[in-house]
A and B are shown apart, each in its own frame.
Chain A
Amino acid sequence: MYNFFENLEKGLKKSIDSEPDKTNARKKYSHAVAGLGKKLYTENEKIAWCGALAPFDILNAMNITTCFVEFIGAMLTSTGLGESFMKEAEDHGYPMDSCGFHRAVTGAMLKNVMPEPDFLVATTSPCVASLTVLENMARHYKKELFVLNIPQQKTKAGIDFLADQLEELTGFISLKTGKKISQDDFEISFAHTNRSRELMIEIYDLAASKPSPLNSKMMKDFGLVMGLFLGTEEGVKICEAFRDELKEKVENNIPGIKNERIRLLWLHSRFQFKNNIEKQLAENFGANIISDELNSVSWKPLDPEKPYHSIAKRMLSIPFVQDSETMVNHLKNMAEKYQVDGVINPAHWGCRQATGATGMISSGLKEIGVPVLNLDTDCVDTRNFAEGQIKTRMEAFMEMLSNSKSPWV
């Protein structure tokens, strides 16, 4: 895996350097992701496997190389190796009804192709399944596991509870690494996070332009993966690259795709295996995925004077942590902001958190005239991805949208 990430990083660097005047944010982002992958497989790095809502700003400030387990599941799938790892997990008794992201990473653990962590940090949200994967990994590697209990209610009691645990977590990491986090570390890390936050708001505003300067692939899974770079200068640079590219396109009226006719919001996760759905949507229907569910900023700037409470508030502000009504209202706001004509929800098999609200999301968005296409499919396991059926349903949805009046007229 080290070689894979190293080659990927080198290839992207070469491509970026060959066209220094061209701003290609996605390549820079992919380069950073490949660099992170390489670091995860580099000896002598301090590694922590985490839940998706772990406080990556703190981990980065404490020089921990880290990522959430679903990221590895997605990477394995994108390289075409996902299925063999999922089968490995299934052979050990992990059922196909469980999440494919988690099965892939579990299989990689069982085949010993995951880098051994120094410790693990689980988060009880967004899903219980991620927690169980990290528990299994802690057992497998005989490493300590820290669990962040994330309540659903964003009340003072909930914030205090989470803030206390975050403070405990820094103590735990200090014990593991010998490094303590100082006020200066918080100042620097939070300055990067807050700058990234400002840029992300700018990016999302630019993406909402009509026509959008994005194409469907440009910001794919951006909001989720960007979490890994919070608190770092690299994160700021990635955001600057996207902001600059989008700004230039908007100022020069360069659309992301030709003849944008249908604007879409994509929920949960994109398909992580190779597919040409986005391309076909654009070519055949002028349909453009303007935003992903997690491409949004729901939190206020972090305050280095109150580091743990700031991060706790951010974690609890993430819509999928909260109840379905809050989540649906958030999606309604996104639909309005991006003026989308329709929403695609790939109801990822095995994900109770995301698919559990499928019906409520559909009816909520219907209230504002935005139709939702619910696909019973899998974002990583191609064995649960009936390509022909998915394409037929998408085509029917696009035809319906093409013949419908925009909800925003």
Chain B
Amino acid sequence: MKKRAYAGFVCSYTPLAVIDAAGLIPFRIFPETDSPQHAGTLLHDNVCPHVKKIIDRAMSGDIPDNMETVIFMNSCDAMRRASDAWKKAKPDQKVILLDLPQTRSGSASAFFSGELKRAAAFLAPDTQDIEAKILESQTMLNAVAKKINHLKEKNRSGKLKNGSVIIQKAYNFIASNPPGLSLEYIDNIIEEESCSNGSKTKLFLMGNMLHSPEAFQMFEDSGISITDDDICTGSRFISKFNIDEKDVFTSLADEILSKPPCARTFDSSSPGSIGVELAGRVKISGADGAIMHVMKFCDPYLSRIPIIRDEFKKQNIPLLILEGDTSLGSIGQQKTRIEAFIEMLG
């Protein structure tokens, strides 16, 4: 039997259910590679390290052999240029860029629904009854999201040793496996892991990309337990979506646009509300403070840092802002600051 092919993706707004329904396995192209740094020959060095590293991977062939398609989301300037650069680096691959509205409205949902249909036709031109299959895939993904939440709950109550690491590993597994396998993977963790995590400082993690389990191990080793997160490689990438079987594409579009937004998506009727929203999530998670890890050159976050910082100050929520390049090396350099932050929290 022929092995299912991968569909590469790079953004947390990617419709995983459409990939699975098309009979493909999602493969998240993480910005992690030993490839030479030559993305600058297509882009520029002041583009974010996420985009540069994935293009390094494409240029060096550091991707699975059976990955014939890649989905990009038009989420920011760097990402749309990444789509162009990928086509240059891998001219034989099928690449699609889906336009993703930055604000939510009736017309935005309708338009994005069309984009999801375009994605389905691109990934699975011959698949019959694609809507039923998307519904089925999303049901599985919802079960995955539920189990992740169960793991988080266990971690928050101190019953998951090294919980931050385990949860991030689970996210990474989900990112590159079919939902059925992801369910089995998390079930195994839930059965196996149930010992105390000791007394740790509870922190909320936010920002954009941080996927390395080693980085989370460093948090744990520094006495931190991540109670919840708002990052592209964490909770923002797997959410429970309610799909209306009578209008699968529109309801999926609406749900994707309604999920907790990254900084590039916002509510235009409430400008600058990202600070209030994140502060609220920190409190709900029971954290004592928050770490914000922001990639260098990420405009959506960089220009919102002052708003977020001011709001956290107003609400007396301790906040540590780290800038990095998504690698373990860059977060490792911040260890002293992280430890000082914990000491400050007492």
Interface residues of A (CB under 8 A from B): 92-95, 97-99, 102, 122, 124, 126-129, 131-133, 135-136, 138-139, 144-147, 149, 151-153, 157-158, 161, 164-165, 168, 323-325, 347, 349-350, 352-353, 355-360, 363, 376
Asked if A355 contacts B46 (CB within 8 A), the reply is yes
Give the CA-CA distance A360 to B87 in the complex, in Å: 11
Choose, from B4-12, B27-35, B208-216, B304-312, the stretch at the interface. Answer: B304-312
Give the CA-CA distance A164 to B101 in the complex, in Å: 14
Asked if A152 contacts B74 (CB within 8 A), the reply is yes
Give the CA-CA distance A124 to B80 in the complex, in Å: 12
B65 to chain A, nearest CB (A): 26
Q: What 8 A-B pairs come out closest when comparing CB atoms?
A: A356-B81, A139-B272, A324-B84, A151-B99, A132-B303, A93-B306, A138-B271, A355-B44
A100 to chain B, nearest CB (A): 12
Give the CA-CA distance A98 to B77 in the complex, in Å: 13
Beyond the given A97-B296, A147-B103, A151-B111, please list 7 additional residue pairs across the A-B interface where CB-CB is below 8 A.
A92-B306, A122-B268, A149-B102, A161-B108, A352-B47, A353-B81, A359-B42
Asked if B307 contacts A139 (CB within 8 A), the reply is yes
Smallest Cβ-Cβ distance to B305: which chain A residue: A93
Asked if B307 contacts A97 (CB within 8 A), the reply is no
B249 to chain A, nearest CB (A): 13
Interface residues of B (CB under 8 A from A): 40-48, 74, 76-78, 80-81, 83-85, 87-88, 97, 99, 101-103, 107-108, 110-111, 114-115, 263-264, 266, 268-269, 271-272, 296-297, 299-300, 302-307, 309
Give the CA-CA distance A92 to B81 in the complex, in Å: 30
17 contacts between A and B (CB under 8 A): A94-B305, A102-B303, A128-B102, A131-B102, A147-B102, A149-B102, A151-B74, A153-B99, A323-B83, A324-B84, A349-B46, A350-B46, A352-B78, A353-B77, A356-B47, A360-B43, A360-B88
Most buried by A among B43, B76, B303: B303
Given contacts A325-B84, A352-B47, contact A168 B107 (CB under 8 A): yes
B296 to chain A, nearest CB (A): 7
Asked if A359 contacts B74 (CB within 8 A), the reply is no
Give the CA-CA distance A127 to B74 in the complex, in Å: 12
Give the CA-CA distance A131 to B78 in the complex, in Å: 15
Question: Which residue of A129, A153, A157, A324 is within 8 Å of B303 (Cβ)?
Answer: A129
Question: Which residue of A139, A161, A356 is within 8 Å of B77 (Cβ)?
Answer: A356
Smallest Cβ-Cβ distance to B300: which chain A residue: A128
Question: Which residue of A122, A129, A347, A363 is within 8 Å of B299 (Cβ)?
Answer: A129
Chain A residue numbers with a CB within 8 Å of B88 are: 360
Asked if A135 contacts B272 (CB within 8 A), the reply is yes
Chain A residue numbers with a CB within 8 Å of B87 are: 325
Give the CA-CA distance A94 to B309 in the complex, in Å: 11
Chain A residue numbers with a CB within 8 Å of B268 are: 122, 135, 138, 145-147
A354 to chain B, nearest CB (A): 9
B58 to chain A, nearest CB (A): 13
Asked if A359 contacts B43 (CB within 8 A), the reply is yes
Asked if A136 contacts B272 (CB within 8 A), the reply is yes
Given contacts A97-B296, A124-B102, A128-B77, contact A359 B46 (CB under 8 A): no
Asked if B40 contacts A359 (CB within 8 A), the reply is yes
Give the CA-CA distance A324 to B44 in the complex, in Å: 13
Asked if A139 contacts B40 (CB within 8 A), the reply is no
Give the CA-CA distance A152 to B103 in the complex, in Å: 16
Asked if A149 contacts B103 (CB within 8 A), the reply is yes
Give the CA-CA distance A302 to B272 in the complex, in Å: 36
Given contacts A128-B77, A152-B99, contact A358 B43 (CB under 8 A): yes
Chain B residue numbers with a CB within 8 Å of A151 are: 74, 99, 111
